[in-house]
Structure 1
Amino acid sequence: MPDKSSTQSGRVYIVGGGPGDPRLISVRGVECLREADLVLYDTLVSPLLLRHTKAQCEHAGRESGPGGPRVNQDEINQRLISEAKAGKIVVRLKGGDPFIFGRGSEEAAALAAEAIPYEIVPGITAAVAAAEYAGISLTHRKHASSVAFVTGHEDPTKPDSSLDYQQLATWPGTLVFYMGLHRLTQISSELIRHGMAAETPACVISRGAQALQQTVTSSLSTIAEAARNAKLVAPSLTIIGDCVRQREAICWFEQKTLFGTRIGITRPDGQADGAINQALELGAEPIVMPMIEIGPPADWAPVDEAIKKLPEFDWLIFTSANGVQYFLDRLRTRDYDARRLAGLKIAAIGPATAAALTAYCLTADLVPDEYRAEALAGALEPEAAGRRVLWAGADRGREVLIDRLTSAGADVTKVATYRNVDADRFPADAARLLRAGKIHWIGLSSPSIARNFANLLDDEMRSHLGQTVRLATISPVTTAAAKEVGIPVAAEATTYTWDGIFSALQRA
């Protein structure tokens, strides 16, 4: 339905978020999320998709889950209508594709009846993504020239099944049953009773296109028992047909080095995307659990004074990308540009900090081989005597640079260009998984993160550490901080970056 009536009017986007892997959402879907005032999301939607929006987000699923209780379809329809009539841009975010067993057409019909402008944004349906992540092509020129999508969970209020098992049993291709795990015995028995061969290849995929994906293959006659023995859980798909045989040759997703692993990402929320994407690329499930947040300093006056006196310094030191961003942005707000840094040499603690400088068209004069304060101090010490050094950093942290450079004869001034604020609780999903011992690894990327992580643990969470929940640190300094607060470290990065943490996990 056209939605051009007014740029001020409310409207609804019914968006398919794809299944499992949050990277499978369409570009258009992301655009809608960025535009939204309100997002009503389904139970099966990856929470990582909500990182694309700054809108108010509410669970509105027909099944209860970690996001909230069950909401019935009529309530959802009325909420979409009322919010759009109030002038809001609403995204109805659904798992998979909204029109493939997703009730998206019912929601569209309700909007159309009220003349609410709306748009349908297709998504990758679960059958396609789960099958391909399991190494199964639903069509193949040698095995199947057709595919049928079938509900395994019909409306319980219907007096009779509308499925024609006679027709399904003789289907000349692949059958895919959505949501039929609890009825698998009945489905397989009916197909066999109506003539499908008992030895027909069959497969059940649980949590498709996710790090915890489980795939069980068997014959049609034994697939229900095989799924029970594997303790598969919903959401699931059942695939029946000769195409299942391909899995042995082209199963790819489960070969990723960290497949089946949940990894806690403790970086500040606004800076976690790189680690999240790295976890996904390696086949892991990232659990976002920021231990600190970053903000501007309580008082800009010391920074402004340092900017005023920049020509008096010889070296400008940055020990984080945050320091670069906050200092150089402040420089601009004071009506200066890069020319203010003329005559200064710039030191960066590591490649990530140096990369942050390049975004401002600046190149670090010095980056140590080892990415920690001791190495940076060692690289600067030969040039320190008689030099004036400005360190633009956090409001807290170790004083190694000040102590060593001062001892080497430098005059060091430190200004806090940003604040680290400790989180006061774990996110609800992370807390639930921690208490169950179901986060396999947690990356600790600074001493302050390690200390706050330990501070937030309750006894139940702590009981899993070193057992089902293991910790990996970014450096020896972070390892020492973790040990000081009584939490065990199972792996330590040799390169002091998040890439180094992931490398340590792969070696462990």
Structure 2
Amino acid sequence: MMNTGKVWLVGAGPYDEGLMTLKGADVLKKADVVVYDSLVGTGILQMMPEHAKKIDVGKKAGNHKVVQEEINRILLEEAKKGGRIVRLKGGDPFLFGRGGEELELLQENGIPFEVVPGVTSAIAVAAYAGIPVTHRDFTSSLHIITAHKKKGSSEPVDFRSLAALGDATLVFLMGIGELENICSGLMEAGMPPETPAAVLEKGTSPRQRRVVADLLTLPEKARLAAAGTPGIIIVGKVCSLAEKFHWAEDRILGGARVIITRPKAKNSELAERLCELGAEVIKLPAIQTAPVDFGDAWEMAEKRIGDYDWIVFTSDAAVDSFFSHLSRIRQDIRTLGGIRFAAIGNATRKAVESHGVLVEYMPESYNGKALGEGLSGLVQKGRRVLAFAPKGTRSDAVSVLEEKGIPCDIIEAYETLYVKGEGIEPEPDDLVVFTSASTVRGFAMAMEGRDIAGMKAVCIGEQTGREAEAHGMEIAVSKEATIDSLVDKVIEVNLQGFRE
């Protein structure tokens, strides 16, 4: 028996990655092949495993990249090769998503499959615009209609039956190009011209917009607003509630798209904070850190262990590398005797103390110069400092200490590797957040071939800001080198813009 693969038909929701179901996300992260649409949100696309084969079959109004029959064939051919195949579709795959057509060929060829429903744009996009599709005081029924007919079909929309529904809510999917015909068709069928109606564009994304009017004036108002696709049309009294119930764009970072460049393992807190405030967060790790074998450097340090007064960590990556080394060689931290520990900032302090070791010095300003200045007055006369720092980077803390006559030994604890960005196209209004000069350099490399001059950058410190300026970016620098201060600066520039 041939060892075939299995296909999961997964609904990704309308755009916002937070609307992806838990089951859908779990299936996606295990995929060997992902066949995806253009309506899938950027954040969801970033959930695709790095090792997975990615096939873009996105279809847009008037510009079909891959015809439906070819998509069906791709799913069959990939499944025959074996593995886990995910067909990732915007919205719900069985609500005008042609999911049934894609399963027919699989079923005929004995390919096993599962369906993971998704949140439909007919309800979610309306909710993000402040329109409840049902409300006891306005309507008790909801009708979802496709304005996009099967190729070759001349069957018209039955406007007379829709108009006869009275106070029902009508949601037209894939109908922006037919807006004028829909509005005129409903009025000709007897629906009052003053019936509230709305066009909702790019729903649940940071670029979402709504145009609310009535049947008579909606086409002209949508034309003046240059409303485009993807979008949905809603007709019914509930549309009048949008002005009262709108909320998505009212969040403090509503409408903002923020690119964060921290290493993948360290960007969750920042991403969560920004998402809670309404931003769409694009995770583009520009760097990753890899531990460096201490080799002879640690053996040399051990020989003079009694000379050290302080161990200094310039980042949490250095902390991780240090304790991993001790664990690997099975050395007890107690063998370091009375050496005290210093950390450059709060994240580094937390990393040290997670191992049950207290940090006895951390500067008020989280930077290398402040660390060196403050520690210089605490080192006992005649004693040395052992610093763990990144490979190939001169530590500001060590420079200050040595200038003051304090001998220092440095162990290169980790190296910074630059990550090639894939599939991310910066947009004009994006904010890019940098937490180190190396993330700026990594971002510039990831964006190779694209012009990043003039992009807006929020930086965690002056050194990081200088690096971003050197690449022609417009910068704003957080007051402190903390996540809280960084988020505050993102909020400030989102509300007030970049000021001199």
- If the TM-score is normalised by the length of the shorter chain, which range does it land in? 0.7 to 0.9
Q: Does 1:168 align with 2:168?
A: no
Secondary structure of the 1:418 match is: strand
SS at match of 1:416: strand
Residue 383 of structure 1: SS of its match in structure 2? Answer: coil
SS at match of 1:140: coil
Q: RMSD of the TM alignment (CA)?
A: 3.0
Residue in structure 1 matched with residue 458 of structure 2 by the alignment: 472
Helix, strand or coil: the match of 1:111?
helix
In structure 2, stretches of 5+ residues that fail to align are 494-500
**How far 1:321 moved relative to its partner?**
2.3
CA distance, structure 2, for counterparts of residue 31 and residue 310 of structure 1 = 51
- Cα distance in structure 1, aligned partners of 2:60 and 2:190: 38
Distance (Å, rounded) in 1 between the aligned partners of 2:337 and 2:12:
49
TM-aligned CA distance change 1:440 to 1:89, over 3 Å: closer
Go from structure 1 to structure 2 and tell me whether the alpha carbon gap of 1:419 and 1:230 turns closer, same or farther (over 3 Å shift): same
Distance 1:25 1:160, change over 3 A: same
- Listed as ranges, the matches of 1:28-43 within 5 Å are 28-43=23-38
Matches of 1:440 and 1:132 in 2, distance apart? 25
Query: Matched residue of 1:429: which SS?
Result: coil
1:381-420 correspondence runs (5 A): 381-385=376-380, 386-420=382-416
Deviation of 1:235 (Å) = 0.8
Secondary structure, counterpart of 1:430 in structure 2? coil
1:189 and 1:26 map into 2 onto residues whose CA distance is 38
Matches within 5 A, 1:123-202: 123-161=118-156, 163-171=157-165, 172-202=167-197
1:356 and 1:69 map into 2 onto residues whose CA distance is 50
Moved more, 203-212 or 372-381: 372-381
**Counterpart-to-counterpart distance in 2, 1:329 and 1:279:** 31
Candidates 415, 419, 431, aligned match of 1:441: 431
How far did residue 31 of structure 1 move?
A: 1.4
- Check whether the contact 1:34–1:54 (CA below 8 A) recurs between aligned residues: no
The partner residue of 1:225 within 220, 228, 237 is: 220
The 1:344/1:454 distance shift into structure 2, 3 A limit, reads: same
2:299 to 284, 302, 305: 305
CA distance in 2, matches of 1:228, 1:336: 71
Question: What amino acid is aligned across from residue 506 of structure 1 in structure 2?
Answer: I
Describe how 1:171-320 pairs up with structure 2 within 5 A: 171=165, 172-297=167-292, 299-302=293-296, 305=299, 312=306, 313-320=308-315
Alpha-carbon distance, 1:302 to partner:
4.7
Report the CA distance shift for 1:44/1:201 in structure 2 as closer, same or farther (over 3 A): same
Distance 1:486 1:139, change over 3 A: closer
Name structure 1 gaps, 5 residues minimum.
Answer: none
Structure 2 counterpart of 1:167, one-letter code: S
Offset at residue 498 of structure 1 (A): 4.2
- C-alpha displacement of 1:152: 2.0
C-alpha displacement at 1:97, in angstroms? 1.2
After superposition, the C-alpha distances for 1:134-180 in whole angstroms (9 at most, x for unaligned) are 1111111111111111112222321322x321111122421111111
- How far did 1:398 drift? 4.1
TM-score, normalised via structure 1 length: 0.87
Residues in 1 aligned to 2:70 and 2:294: alpha-carbon distance in whole angstroms: 49
CA distance in 2, matches of 1:388, 1:340: 17
Provide the C-alpha distance between the structure 1 equivalents of 2:94 and 2:379, rounded to a whole number of angstroms.
67
Q: Distance in 2 between matches of 1:27 and 1:113?
A: 30
Match in the other structure for 2:490: 505
| Identity between Structure 1 and Structure 2 (%) | 33
d(CA) in 2 for partners of 1:213 and 1:20? 10
Separation (CA, whole Å) in 2 of partners of 1:240 and 1:361 = 62
Question: Counterpart of 2:279 in structure 1: which amino acid?
Answer: A
Provide the rounded CA distance (Å) in 2 between the counterparts of 1:50 and 1:457: 18
Q: Is the Cα contact below 8 Å between 1:307 and 1:331 reproduced in 2?
A: no
TM-superposed deviation, 1:185: 0.3
Instruction: State whether residues 298 and 411 of structure 2, in contact with CA within 8 Å, keep that contact through their aligned partners in structure 1.
Output: no
Aligned partner of 1:183: which letter?
E
359-368 vs 112-121, greater mean Cα deviation: 359-368
Q: Contact 2:468/2:475 (CA < 8 Å) preserved in 1?
A: no
Count of matched residue positions in the alignment of Structure 1 and Structure 2: 488
C-alpha deviation, 1:328, in angstroms: 2.3
